[in-house]
Amino acid sequence: MCGRFTSRKPEKIKIDGVHLSDLEGAKPRYNIAPSQQILSVIQTGDGRHALYLTWGLIPSWSKEGNGIINARSETLLEKPSFRDSFKRRRCLIPADGFFEWKKEGKTKQPYYFQMKDESVFSFAGIWDTWKNDGKEIISCAIITTTPNTTLSQVHNRMPVILHSGDFDTWLNNEVKTDELSDLLRPFPDEYMKGYPVSTNVNSPSVDNSQLVEPL
């Protein structure tokens, strides 16, 4: 799964069709957690837009309003919670690193993963709009897949990371879902690195640069 991630340098986010003015309010984040507002890019009939979505997908038909933070790539078309969003409402979620936890005895050791050049990338996401009693929540989930070699030493899942050349395909609602399977694979291992970090990341209230420093 993917339960925490970072956006340390939002000023370096570059996605065609998204104006820097749309990123107003973006600030460095070192411990982005579920239920928080996260920067996302969607594409509608009038172009691309950067906006803040609630992390935790709430299907439009949900009665309870409970959010789901991750969607397994293998079951996107099987799960009613994800099927319609995968077909019609895909998004990019910019990031520059993420955390996973490795079980070590009775404890869990957090690890931080990023690109070897520490560049910004984007997760593949889906989104939906939920309305109830006059309340509206636009929410999203990060899609996960099987891990590459670097991740497999720590966890059995990893977020789907898209190559920048695939952004247009992912956001284009005219593209059929059966044409997207090649995008939902583990990101090439040779571009990534990971290392153990402080357990302070376990607390969503802690958000500082020390969280991504190697132990």
Give the CATH number for residue 96.
3.90.1680.10
Share of the chain above pLDDT 70, in %: 97
As given in the structure block, the two tokens for residue 197 are 């970090």
* Residue 198 to residue 31: CA distance in whole angstroms: 12
Structure tokens at 80: 């009613």
Nearest residue to 29 (alpha-carbon basis) of 19, 37, 17: 37
Q: What are the catalytic residues?
A: 2, 100
Domain with 186, as residue range(s), is 4-212
Residue 22: predicted pLDDT: 62
- Coil, strand, or helix at residue 103? strand
Rounded-to-integer distance, Cα 211 and Cα 38, Å: 19
User: Is pLDDT of 18 > 90?
Assistant: no
CA distance 116 to 161: 14
Give per-residue pLDDT as tens, 137-177.
999 999 999 999 999 999 999 999 999 999 999 999 899 99
Q: Number of folded domains in the chain?
A: 1
Residues 6+ apart with CB under 8 A from 79: 71, 72
pLDDT band for 21, please (50, 70, 90 cuts): low
Q: Which of 81, 43, 70 is nearest to 170 (CA)?
A: 43
Instruction: Please enumerate in sequence order all residues whose Cβ is within 8 A of that of 192, keeping only pairs 6 or more positions apart, or say none.
Output: 113, 114, 115, 116, 148, 150, 151
Beta bridge partners of 95: 121
pTM beyond 0.75, yes or no: yes
Report residue 20's pLDDT band, with 50, 70 and 90 as the boundaries: low
Measure the CA–CA gap between 74 and 7, rounded to whole angstroms: 27
d(CA 172, CA 162) in angstroms, rounded, equals 14
Sign of the CA dihedral running 195, 201, 207, 211: negative
Q: Which residues contact 94 (CB under 8 A, 6 or more apart)?
A: 7, 10, 13, 15, 39, 40, 41, 120, 121, 122
